Amino acid sequence: MTHAKVPGYDRRPSGVYVPNAELMKAALEKAKIPADKKIRYLPQDNEIGSLDIARKTGHAALLVGPTGVGKSMLTRFMAQRLGLPYLYITCDPDATRSNMTGHENVIFTQTDGGAEMRVQQFMQSNVSIAAMCGQPVVLLIDEFHKLRPGLDAIFYPIAHERELNLSGILGPGEIYQFHPESLIVFALNPYYQNGGIEKVDQAMRQRLQTIHLGMISNETKLLDIVMANVPGADLHRGILEEICKLCAGLCRVFEAYRNKTAAEKRDADLIMRIEQHLTAINEAPSPRLLVRTAECIVAGQDPQHAMKQNIFSAITDDLGPTVTALASIATARLNPGSP
């Protein structure tokens, strides 16, 4: 029987065409982070060593932490440090199984005899590339808290046996083992809609090495992150120190407020006017927001405008009174003599 030829693809016994070794190699080369694009990650604790251990022992890792604390940057840093391709997917409520694992795409091509033939071509996802390539990679499955209900069954074998089952797409027996030196990382925000961590059931969690990246409330640490990641920040060190102090203080207050009971919150509201605005704050200022603010200041933007647009407006849905209250606190901190 005459089969169609699809450049860059090999035909499986089931009739599905999958990317060949050359196409896979090209995808992996594209996924490598250039050496001249230096990723500067400053560890909070021992998370780099913990990821090294996860890779050596064959465990998948679960990075848990609020938005912007460096979960994705850490995995990119690890990929560059290890010299491995960096592959990632981002979960969201609209993503389907085919978005996660890859899917068939029907094309029409010519046989050797010139006849037109309908061909089933497998379009890979980064997860399937990581499983099928036969080489070590760093794979990040990000925003896991947003995963569509029912799709966690895809990822259980990845966490448990380090394998991806594509039998339903490519045919019987199409089960792929991730390379033993690959680093597989899941990442989620535990505070997402008051239940992000619940997206990972207990059976899966017991097969993951959990690494917690907490909110950073130390101004020196925040300043170090800004200085390491923003060229030209030294020229604005004084103002950035004050911004880091303010954001670190807000982190501490926000964390204390979130940990209070309902009764304690009501009592605190009677004492501290700012507490009425804390109820509208969704996240504390993250290193990501501070870095972006510093970049804007280095580019010439007024510091107060930079903070309002990049920090305050990002941590609350209330762009009226809450942002105004936070901006007034910033004005008092950055301009002590102002009325």
**How does pLDDT run across 7-21, given as a tens digit for each residue?**
888 888 888 888 999
- H helix or E strand, kind and range, residue 270: helix 262-271
Identify the band that residue 147 occupies on the pLDDT scale cut at 50, 70 and 90: confident
Predicted pLDDT of residue 269? 47
What average pLDDT does the segment 135-149 reach?
A: 91
Identify the band that residue 110 occupies on the pLDDT scale cut at 50, 70 and 90: low
Predicted pLDDT of residue 71? 93
The pTM assigned to this predicted structure is 0.83
- CB-side exposure of 320: number of CA atoms within 13 Å? 0
Identify the band that residue 306 occupies on the pLDDT scale cut at 50, 70 and 90: very high
Share in percent of the chain as helix, strand, coil (round to 5): 50, 15, 35
Per DSSP, which regions of 178-246 are E strands?
183-188, 208-212
- Residue range 262-301, pLDDT digits in tens: 555 455 544 455 555 556 777 888 899 999 999 999 999 9
- 3 state SS of 281: strand
- Of 204 and 89, the structure prediction assigns the larger pLDDT to 89
- Of 315 and 275, the structure prediction assigns the larger pLDDT to 315
- Residue range 41-62, pLDDT digits in tens: 888 889 999 999 999 999 999 9
Residue 262: exposure state from Cβ atoms within 10 A (0-12, 13-18, ≥19): exposed
Which domains are assigned to the chain? Answer: 9-212 (3.40.50.300), 219-334 (no CATH)
Predicted pLDDT of residue 235? 95
What is the Rg, in whole angstroms, of the alpha carbon atoms belonging to the chain? 24
Position 127 pLDDT exceeds 60: yes
Predicted pLDDT of residue 133? 93
Residue 326: exposure state from Cβ atoms within 10 A (0-12, 13-18, ≥19): buried
What average pLDDT does the segment 93-113 reach?
A: 78
Q: Which two tokens stand for residue 55?
A: 């890779």
Q: In this structure, is the dihedral angle defined by the CA atoms of residues 28, 29, 30 and 36, taken in order, positive or negative? A: positive
Q: Over pLDDT 70: what percentage of the chain?
A: 88
Distance from C-alpha of 109 to C-alpha of 14, rounded to nearest angstrom:
18
Is the distance from CB of 289 to CB of 240 less than 8 angstroms?
no
Position 220 pLDDT exceeds 90: yes
Position 219 pLDDT exceeds 70: yes
Is the distance from CB of 155 to CB of 102 less than 8 angstroms?
no
Predicted pLDDT of residue 214? 85
Identify the band that residue 154 occupies on the pLDDT scale cut at 50, 70 and 90: confident
| C-alpha 312: how far from chain center | 21
- Residue range 156-208, pLDDT digits in tens: 899 989 999 998 888 888 999 999 999 999 999 887 776 677 778 888 888 89
Averaged pLDDT score across all residues of the chain: 85
- Of 128 and 318, the structure prediction assigns the larger pLDDT to 128
